[in-house]
Each structure stands twice: as structure tokens, then as C-alpha cells.
Amino acid sequence: MWTLQWESRRENATRAFYFTLSVYLDMDMLSYLLCLIVLCLYVLIVGSNVLLIVVICVNRSLHEPMYMFLCSLFVNELYGSTSLFPFLLVQILSDVHIISAPLCFLQMFCIYTYACVEFTNLAAMSYDRYVAICCPLQYNSVMTTRRIAILISITWFPPFFFVAVTVFLSSSLQLCGNVINKIYCDNHSVIKLACEEPRVNNIYELVMTFLTVCVPGSVILYTYVRILKVCFSGSKQTRQKALSTCTPHLASVINFSFGVSFEIVQSRFNMNNVPSMLRTILPLYFLTCQPLFNPVLYGLNVSNIRNLSKKLILSKLQHFF
């Protein structure tokens, strides 16, 4: 039965030069309001992340492992949001919601690398917190400049390689359609258009998921189990220190996992019974809320960043006026 189904689809094989994004709604005048909202969100994301990157880079007192990982996180959020928001603004104002095949695969590459780098960066940050809380006396000898450089390199380079292979495999498929039921390009939607069963793509997707999700997730789980053991067996001062340093990071991990879960559910399951507006908003959660959430979370909770950010803003305002 499956063989006959794939054979019949092969007869309709075409080379896709563009894809149609079918989830966009015809909102007429409301499109201008939505465009304004999206533009404001993007300006807020860029402004808040750039501010914190500048604060960390300019102040030598923040040239410590935790802040280096935070800087990497903020850079990634600028990268991820920029891969979506300018395109989203164009699509909202456009009457025809299409995207060329090369641009589709480029967007897929950017969004997937953003997600993978975010998760591996959060794993590196959890390791840093584990060393700081569980091995405080060895912290400076363990978290050397060389170790930080290696961790940040692992955070960025392997995800780019893994996703590049994914995009190459998907772009090589023969497709029997060009309609993507989302507001941006994603790998699973393209695979569903394949004329033949994409066994290699499916196997590689499982391997990539293990390497970019399960491995970092295991690191995060292991480090927090060890941190909790230290908290329960340690003094009140140790618990307070662990709580103050781990709460923002844990909140960020939960928020990002929540957003990625929305994305997986929307990609893997039939969402035809879900209202169109909800289908439009849910995939945007991990690309919008994380870049907005982290600068606010760390800017307000980490006193060094908060105080230096205030000082930088006030000095610029005084200079301007």
C-alpha cells in the first residue's frame, strides 16, 4: 500500500522554485496594525539584546565566564529574530505569500541553527553554574579562558554543521507540492512534500535531534540534579546563592523548552481543527518570547548587568541632552 502511494506521488514530481505559505490570514486593514506590532517587537528585541551585549563587552568587570555565555546567548537571539522578523514584515504587507526555494532553505537553516545554538548555549551555562556552586574552590582553575573558548565553539560550530547537512538533504528531495502550512519554512513541512519516502532524511533528523536536543538536555538535567543535592545538603547561604544564580537560567530553559514543544506539536500533528490565528501565533513563540524574555530576565535579576545598564543609559541621555 505504501509503495503504491509513493509510486503515485512520484508521477507528480516537480522541482519547486518557490513555496506558498498558506497560514497567513487575509486581514485587510488589520495587516498594518499587525505590521506595527511586529516592528515594535523587533525593535525592542534588537534594542534590548544589543544594549546588554554592549554592557558586557565594554565593562571589564563583566569579562567572566557567566557573562561571556550570556553575551553568546544574546548574539544568538539577535541572529534568530533577524532570520524571521524582516521576512515576516514583508509577508504581512504582501498580497501573495510566497517564498523562493533558496530563500526558504536559507530561512530554514537560520531558524534551526538558532534553536540548536540556543539549547547548547543553555547547556554550557548550566555547566558553568554547576562548577560555580558544586566546586567553588576549583572554579577559576576549571573555567579558564581556554575552556570558555572551547565551550562557546562547541555551542556554535557543530549546530551549524548538523543543520547544513539537514538543509542539503531536504533541498535534494523531489517534491510533489509547494504549499507549506506555516508562516515560515521548516524542515518537516518540506519533507512532507517529498514524492518518495525520505528514509535518509528521517534517520538523520533523529540523529540530529539526539545530538542537539538530547545531549544538551542531559547535561542540563545532570547539572541541576547535582546543584539540588548541594542545595539540600548545604547551608542557607549556599541555597540563597544557588537560587539567585540559577533562577534566571532555569526560567530561560523552561521558557525555551515550552516554545520548542509548541513548534514540535505544530509540525508533527494535524492542526486543522485549531483556529488559524492560534496556528499562526504558536510557531512564533520560541522565536519571539525567548529573545524578549532573556534580556528582561537577566537585565532585571543580575544586579551587575542591571546597574551597569542603568549607568550606560543615563550617561548617554545626559550626553544627548
Contact 22, 276 (CB under 8 A): no
What whole-number distance in Å separates Cα of residue 1 and Cα of residue 181? Answer: 26
Residue 176, φ and ψ in degrees, nearest 5: -115, 35
What whole-number distance in Å separates Cα of residue 44 and Cα of residue 247? Answer: 23
Q: Under CATH, what is the fold of the domain 16-320? A: Rhopdopsin 7-helix transmembrane proteins (1.20.1070)
pLDDT of residue 279: 65
pLDDT of residue 289: 85
83 membership: H or E segment, kind and range: none
Q: Tell me the Ramachandran region of residue 28: left when phi exceeds 0, alpha when psi lies from -120 to 50, beta otherwise.
A: left
**H runs (alpha helix) in the chain:** 2-10, 30-58, 65-82, 85-93, 101-134, 139-142, 145-171, 187-191, 199-209, 215-233, 236-268, 276-281, 285-301, 303-320
Q: What is the mean pLDDT of each run of 10 residues along the chain (321 residues)?
A: 48 66 67 85 91 86 87 93 89 82 92 93 93 87 92 93 92 85 84 83 85 89 87 73 79 87 73 66 79 83 65 60 53
Hey, what's the cell of 281? 501565533
CB atoms under 10 Å from CB of 75, counted, come to: 16
With cell 550617561, the residue in question is 315
**What's the CA angle centered on 54, arms 48 and 60, to 5 degrees?**
135
What whole-number distance in Å separates Cα of residue 312 and Cα of residue 59? Answer: 10
Hey, what's the cell of 269? 500533528
pLDDT of residue 91: 84
Inter-helix orientation angle 199-209/145-171, to 10°: 160
pLDDT of residue 314: 63
What whole-number distance in Å separates Cα of residue 175 and Cα of residue 201? Answer: 14
Contact 77, 53 (CB under 8 A): no
Mapped onto helix, strand or coil, the DSSP state of residue 21 is strand
pLDDT of residue 6: 46
Q: CA torsion sign, 175 to 178 to 179 to 185? A: positive
pLDDT of residue 4: 43
15 membership: H or E segment, kind and range: none
